[in-house]
Amino acid sequence: MKFTLKDIVFAAIVAAAMNVLSFVTVPLVVALPIPGIRVVVVAPFYGLLLALALMRIKKTGTASLISFLTGAVLLFVGPVILVFLMASGIVTDLLIYLFWRDMEKPANIILGSASYLAVMVPFGSFFGSIMIQDTPLAELITQWWLVLLVSLAAFLLGAAGAFLGVKSNKELKGFSMMK
């Protein structure tokens, strides 16, 4: 399926909101030496916004499109962000395509959105360690349990945000934003 201009505009609005939220929340935790903490802090917000986008656009590639639009702006902060956002979007779209295709089911929206945040943690940690030496790769590999734990936290917070997005969808339909 091709994206319409309305789809791209909606995705761009979601990406812009994600960027604004990143600029506000990430500086609050940037000094904490926990792999993936930057994802955890944005997880509920990104989960909500991605859920709204998945419910509105309902096309394969939505997570990748939003990742590209979000990462293109953040490319100026660091190229690693675009790389791990794109990897996360592609994997999420693949998971949605394989397992949760029906975007009419709230559970599929929540699982797709939460998965986006969960895969973002290891991709961000891995690409950060090899591209900007944020954390030595050997340390990251030996602390796989921490990455897994932070991924679980991102999944749960993303699912909570997506749940709120699914619940608010009914209200937004009344304003014709989600038709």
pLDDT beyond 90 at 171: no
pLDDT digits (tens, 9 = 90+) for 18-71: 999 999 999 999 888 788 889 999 999 999 999 999 999 999 999 999 999 999
Looking at residue 177, what DSSP letter applies? S
Residue 114 falls in which region: left (phi positive, over 0), alpha (psi -120 to 50) or beta: alpha
Q: In which residue are the tokens 């998945």 written?
A: 54
pLDDT digits (tens, 9 = 90+) for 70-115: 999 988 888 888 999 999 999 999 999 999 988 889 999 999 999 9
Q: In which residue are the tokens 């917070």 written?
A: 157
pLDDT digits (tens, 9 = 90+) for 76-86: 888 888 999 99
Query: Contact, 29 vs 41, CB < 8 A?
Result: yes
Supply the mean pLDDT for the chain: 89
Give, to the nearest 10 degrees, the angle between helix 37-57 and helix 5-29. Answer: 160
Other CB atoms within 10 A of residue 21 CB: 17
Residue 60 falls in which region: left (phi positive, over 0), alpha (psi -120 to 50) or beta: beta
The model's pTM is 0.90
